[in-house]
Structures are given as structure tokens and as C-alpha cells.
């Protein structure tokens, strides 16, 4: 029986309450005190309730006695247990001796078995990490492998003044970390509906994507820069059976060889100078059960091509500097704007890797080959742009739409989207005319939006690229700085600057 005894805040009243309980022959199990409230849990028959209540009411200053379901501490513990049980990550609270005070259901499943009770046990019986490490004053983190999977362990000290009297240990599974990273990378609408267009080629592409989504095989996506290859890869993942697992993307052209290797395969503790203590999992581990998207696969170095080919044999690998073999289950989707067949002929890309990746093939048509979709895309981007700048919904005149449909769009959908967003941001009218587009293009690039003098798409793209690099090089006067600004590799920028004579060849 649990009672809430309401009373005045009088010196000695608690002793009198305890004396009355003992006098009635009741066994006191627990007691909590708050101002004006004394909570007791006693072991006594319910038939004694009225007699005990009468005895308590005889005490000077006791204003009332009522039965309660829980003592305040029990209620708090009940809510805490419910909260902890809903958290997917294993959480363990230990005292200064390493004894487990609290462990949620996920911890019981990860360290022992479902339904086990860890409270009162020594943490050393379940974790190989020394207790002294877990109780470090500055906190501690490392990677941990158990029979139930691999985890990132994070220990946060519990302090009493300057003294550490315990720690909260959280285990984060690599798959959970991958899911969180995937959620950060997601752009919102990643389904097939994100592939906007009503042309026959886009409808066919959506049908092929839906068929390929259920075939757990590598897919190679081809298309020019700005056609939406990553968007298509995300739609492919979302429509397939792995859609609840992580989708992690990396651009192979943006990172140097050693950085790309560590991002893909991870590294062991102490693998190299400056390596994160405890090691670091790579994308293949974090995306286990999900999908890894390798954008611009044609920019991958020969060394990494060989390592990727070896990985694709049985999906096993070792981290950089590691000895333990890791096995993962991932689907590989690659994309490129380059002619990989031609690259295999020149030796720039491994032929055996090409055939391993090119099992299923999707091609995104450039915007100039699907001009009938431009009006639909304009309306799509126009609505989003107006929402972002908090402006009333604008519209393009028929003449402006026609001019947009006549443009070559060397930057494809990305260029069209940027043009729409800039136009909306700078427009002072509710109707966007043809002249507005022309003036905007001249302000930004110094070139007309519509080129009549160029002889080919390649020439137009080269002109734009040369002018862009020459302009930016004035503000980022080194190949490394310019590479960081444009998010491409240092080697690629160096080649382009020499090609266009912006810097002298060495």
C-alpha cells in the first residue's frame, strides 16, 4: 500500500509519522519526502488501511492521507524506463565501479539477449573496453565489435563536482549511423515523381527505373553534367526493396585518391598520422543493407579501380591499416558523363571493372533532346523558387517559355533550375518576359543566353568553361583554391587551366 500523507512543515513531524506506522505493526518498504508531502510504501493488509489512516490523522499537523498508485520516484523511473525503451541505440548507465545502474532494452539485446537484466552486473563482463577508459574525465569513444554487430561506443562521464562518479555509455550501430547520414543527404522527394517530365523518353526512363529497382544488380547511369544522375539513383533506391536502408553518395571526382579510399573503405585506429582514434568506418560499412552511389566513376584512379573490382568479387574488404575482414551487403549504383567504352580502349578505365558495373544501364537524355519537358520543368522550378524567396507565384510569358525551349542548355537541368531561381530572385514583376531572361544571362555570364555563332555544343561549353575559370582564377589564384571553390579535383583544375592557357604550362 502506498500513501501520500499531507502535512504541515513542522519540525519532528516525520518522526511522529514513522512512529505511528511502527505502532500499527506495518513494515515500511520505502519513503520519500517533499515539502508538505510524506510518501510511504508499506507492507500491510488493505484491511489495516482505515486504522492506519486514523492513527496518522491523530498527529498534530497531518491534514490528510490518501492512497496513491506510485511514489514520485517510482513514477519518474517508470517514465524513464519507457523513454529508454523507445530509444533504438543501446544505452547503459554505470557507477564509478563499473556496475550497471540502468540499461535499456536495446542494450540488453546488443550485449546479452532480449529480456536479460543487466542492472547490478559489472560492465566488464559485457564490453572488452577497460572500465578505466569508460570513466575518463574527458569522455571516451571507440569502435566496438560484438556478436550482435559493430558499434561506435561513446562514453560520457557523470560528474559530482570535479569527481567522476559514473558514465553513460551509448552504442551506435554502424547501420544507424548510415541511416542518419543518409537522412542528412536526402533532398526530400527522392521517389520516381522527382523525375519531372512527360516526354516519351522520360516516361520510358521511369518505367525502366521501376523495373531495375527490384533487380538487385549494379546499375550504370549515363548522362551529361546536370542531367540529374544522382536524383535518378535516389529514385532507383527508393523504389526498391532496400529503401528503408541507407543511401550514401560520394563524388569520385571531388576527392584525392587517398581521401576517396578512406571515405569508401574506412581505416583502422592508427592507420596513418592524424587518423581518428578508434578508426573510422567507410561508406560501404555505413551503407550495409543499402545502396552506395559512386558519382563520376570515370574519374576514379587506376589503383582504386582495382580495389573496387576486388571488393565487388565478394563484397569483402579490409579497412586501411586493418587486419579484420569486413563483409557488407550493398547495392552499387554508378554514374558518369564520360565515354567509359572509349576509356577502356585507351586504358584509362579497367575493362573488367566496366563490365562488372555495366550490368544494368540507364541513360538520362540531355535537355536539348527533351525540349517538350522544358515547360513542365519551368513550372516545377518556378513554384519551388517562389516558395523559397517567399514571393507570390509568378509566371513566364509564352515568348519567354519559347526562348527557354530554344536554348541549348549545356548545363542541362541544373542550369535551367539556376536560371529560374535567379530570375525569380531578381524579378520585380509577376510576369517574366523574354528580355528579363536575356538581361539576366548577360549579367551573370557576360554572354547571351542564346548563342547563334557557336558551331557545336562542345564549343559552347568550352567557351563558358574558359570564361568561368578565367574569372574565378582572379579571386582564387591557385589551382588548389580554385578546385575547392568548384568542388572538383585539384588535378582536373590544373589540366583545365593549362588547356585554356589561363596559367602557363610547366
CA–CA distance, 487 with 253 (Å, rounded to integer): 8
CATH number for the domain that contains residue 54: 3.30.70.260
Identify whether residues 385 and 482 lie together within a single domain: no
Identify whether residues 335 and 482 lie together within a single domain: no
Short-list 178, 196, 357, CA closest to 280: 178
Give the number of domains in the chain.
5
Q: What is the DSSP letter of 190?
A: -
CA–CA distance, 90 with 168 (Å, rounded to integer): 11
Asked if 386 and 393 count as a contact pair (C-beta separation under 8 A), the reply is yes
CATH number for the domain that contains residue 439: 1.10.8.60
Identify whether residues 238 and 271 lie together within a single domain: yes
Identify whether residues 154 and 291 lie together within a single domain: no
CA–CA distance, 315 with 307 (Å, rounded to integer): 11
Rg, the chain, Cα only:
33
Identify whether residues 194 and 332 lie together within a single domain: yes
CATH number for the domain that contains residue 265: 3.40.50.300
Identify whether residues 214 and 294 lie together within a single domain: yes
- Contacts (Cβ under 8 Å, ≥6 apart) of 102: 80, 84, 91, 92, 93, 119
- The answer as to whether 312 is a domain residue is yes
Looking at residue 129, its pLDDT comes to 83
Residue 390, phi-psi category: left (phi > 0), alpha (psi -120 to 50), beta (remainder): left
CA–CA distance, 11 with 62 (Å, rounded to integer): 13
Asked if 180 and 245 count as a contact pair (C-beta separation under 8 A), the reply is no
Among 34, 51, 74, give the residue marking a domain's end.
74
Looking at residue 443, its pLDDT comes to 54
- The answer as to whether 128 is a domain residue is yes
- Please provide residue 321's backbone torsions phi and psi, each rounded to the nearest 5 degrees: 75, 5
Q: Quick one: cell of 363?
A: 541513360
Among 342, 363, 384, give the residue marking a domain's end.
363
Identify whether residues 108 and 217 lie together within a single domain: no
Identify whether residues 241 and 379 lie together within a single domain: no
Beta strands in 52-95 (DSSP E): 62-67, 91-95
Among 142, 173, 204, give the residue marking a domain's end.
173
This prediction has a pTM of: 0.67
Identify whether residues 402 and 466 lie together within a single domain: no
Short-list 40, 36, 38, CA closest to 9: 36
Looking at residue 204, its pLDDT comes to 94
Looking at residue 234, its pLDDT comes to 92
- The answer as to whether 60 is a domain residue is yes
Q: Quick one: cell of 331?
A: 547495392
Looking at residue 445, its pLDDT comes to 47
Q: Is 360 helix (H, G, I), strand (E, B) or coil?
A: strand
pLDDT tens, per residue, the chain with 506 residues: 889 989 888 888 888 888 988 888 888 888 888 889 999 888 887 778 888 889 889 899 989 999 888 898 888 888 887 887 777 888 889 998 989 888 888 888 888 766 677 888 888 888 888 888 888 888 887 777 666 667 888 888 988 888 888 999 988 877 777 777 777 666 666 678 888 899 999 999 999 999 999 999 999 999 998 899 999 999 999 999 999 999 999 999 888 899 999 999 988 877 776 666 667 889 999 999 999 999 999 999 999 999 999 999 999 999 998 888 889 999 999 999 999 999 999 999 999 999 999 999 999 999 999 999 999 999 999 988 888 878 888 888 898 898 888 888 888 998 888 888 888 877 777 888 887 776 665 554 444 544 445 566 677 677 778 877 877 777 777 888 888 878 788 888 888 888 888 875 44
CA–CA distance, 227 with 337 (Å, rounded to integer): 9
In DSSP terms, 172 is beta-bridged to 152
- The answer as to whether 79 is a domain residue is no
CA–CA distance, 493 with 292 (Å, rounded to integer): 26
Identify whether residues 231 and 322 lie together within a single domain: yes
Contacts of 388-394 spanning 24+ positions with Cβ under 8 A? 388/421, 389/424, 389/425, 391/424, 392/430, 394/424, 394/427, 394/429, 394/430, 394/431, 394/432
- The answer as to whether 315 is a domain residue is yes
CA–CA distance, 124 with 97 (Å, rounded to integer): 10
Identify whether residues 294 and 399 lie together within a single domain: no
Query: Whole domain around residue 35: which residue ranges?
Result: 2-74
Looking at residue 506, its pLDDT comes to 43
Identify whether residues 321 and 190 lie together within a single domain: yes
- The answer as to whether 111 is a domain residue is yes
- The answer as to whether 399 is a domain residue is yes
Short-list 202, 238, 242, CA closest to 223: 202
CA–CA distance, 157 with 167 (Å, rounded to integer): 4
- Contacts (Cβ under 8 Å, ≥6 apart) of 165: 95, 96, 158, 159
Q: What are the percentages of helix, strand and coil residues in the chain, rounded to 5?
A: 45, 20, 35
Looking at residue 446, its pLDDT comes to 47
- The answer as to whether 116 is a domain residue is yes
- Please provide residue 42's backbone torsions phi and psi, each rounded to the nearest 5 degrees: -125, 150
Amino acid at each position: 500500500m502506498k500513501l501520500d500523507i499531507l502535512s504541515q512543515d513542522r519540525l519532528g513531524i516525520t518522526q511522529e509519522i514513522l512512529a505511528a506506522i511502527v505502532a500499527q505493526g506495518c513494515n515500511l518498504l520505502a519513503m520519500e519526502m517533499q515539502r508538505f508531502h510524506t510518501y510511504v510504501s508499506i507492507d500491510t493488509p488493505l484491511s489495516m488501511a482505515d486504522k492506519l489512516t486514523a492513527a496518522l490523522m491523530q498527529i498534530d499537523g497531518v491534514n490528510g492521507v490518501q492512497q496513491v498508485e506510485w511514489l514520485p520516484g517510482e513514477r519518474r523511473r517508470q517514465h524513464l524506463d519507457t523513454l529508454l525503451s523507445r530509444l533504438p541505440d543501446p544505452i547503459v548507465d554505470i557507477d564509478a565501479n563499473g556496475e550497471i545502474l540502468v540499461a535499456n532494452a536495446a542494450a540488453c539485446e546488443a550485449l546479452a539477449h532480449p529480456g536479460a537484466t543487466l542492472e547490478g552486473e559489472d560492465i566488464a563482463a559485457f564490453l572488452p573496453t577497460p572500465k578505466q577508459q569508460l570513466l575518463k574525465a574527458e569522455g571516451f569513444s571507440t569502435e566496438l565489435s560484438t556478436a550482435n554487430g559493430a558499434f561506435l561506443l561513446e562514453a560520457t562521464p557523470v560528474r559530482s563536482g570535479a569527481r567522476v562518479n559514473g558514465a553513460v555509455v551509448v552504442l551506435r550501430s554502424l547501420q544507424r549511423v548510415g541511416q542518419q547520414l543518409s537522412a542528412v543527404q536526402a533532398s526530400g522527394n527522392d521517389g520516381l515523381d522527382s523525375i519531372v517530365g512527360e516526354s516519351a523518353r522520360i516516361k520510358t526512363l521511369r518505367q525502366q527505373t521501376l523495373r531495375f529497382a527490384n533487380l538487385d544488380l549494379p546499375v550504370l547511369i549515363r548522362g551529361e553534367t546536370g542531367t540529374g544522375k544522382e536524383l535518378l539513383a535516389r529514385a532507383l533506391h527508393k523504389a526498391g526493396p532496400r529503401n528503408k536502408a541507407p543511401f550514401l553518395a560520394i563524388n569520385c571526382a571531388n576527392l584525392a585518391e587517398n581521401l576517396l579510399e578512406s571515405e569508401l573503405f574506412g581505416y583502422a585506429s592508427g592507420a596513418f598520422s592524424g587518423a581518428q582514434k578508434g578508426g573510422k568506418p567507410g561508406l560501404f560499412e555505413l551503407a550495409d543493407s543499402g545502396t552506395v552511389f559512386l558519382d563520376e566513376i570515370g574519374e576514379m584512379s587506376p589503383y582504386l579501380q582495382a580495389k573496387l573490382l576486388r571488393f565487388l568479387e565478394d563484397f569483402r574488404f579490409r579497412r586501411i591499416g586493418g587486419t579484420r575482414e569486413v563483409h557488407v551487403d550493398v547495392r552499387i549504383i554508378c554514374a558518369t558523363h564520360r565515354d567509359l567504352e572509349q576509356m577502356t580502349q585507351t586504358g584509362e578505365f579497367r575493362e573488367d571493372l566496366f563490365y562488372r558495373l555495366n550490368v544494368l544501364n540507364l541513360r538520362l537524355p540531355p535537355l536539348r533532346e527533351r525540349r517538350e519537358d522544358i515547360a513542365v520543368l519551368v513550372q516545377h522550378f518556378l513554384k519551388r523558387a517562389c516558395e523559397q524567396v517567399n514571393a507570390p507565384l509568378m509566371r513566364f510569358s509564352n515568348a519567354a517559355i519559347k526562348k527557354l525551349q530554344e536554348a541549348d542548355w549545356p548545363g542541362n537541368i541544373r542550369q535551367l533550375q539556376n536560371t529560374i531561381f535567379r530570375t525569380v530572385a531578381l524579378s520585380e514583376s509577376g510576369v517574366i518576359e523574354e528580355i528579363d531572361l536575356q538581361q539576366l544571362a548577360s549579367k551573370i555570364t557576360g554572354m547571351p543566353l542564346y548563342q547563334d555563332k557557336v558551331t557545336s555544343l562542345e564549343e559552347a561549353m568550352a567557351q563558358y568553361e574558359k570564361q568561368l575559370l578565367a574569372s574565378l582564377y582572379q579571386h582564387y589564384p591557385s589551382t588548389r583554391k580554385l578546385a575547392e571553390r568548384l568542388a572538383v579535383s585539384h588535378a582536373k583544375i590544373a589540366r583545365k587551366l593549362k588547356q585554356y592557357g589561363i596559367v602557363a604550362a610547366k
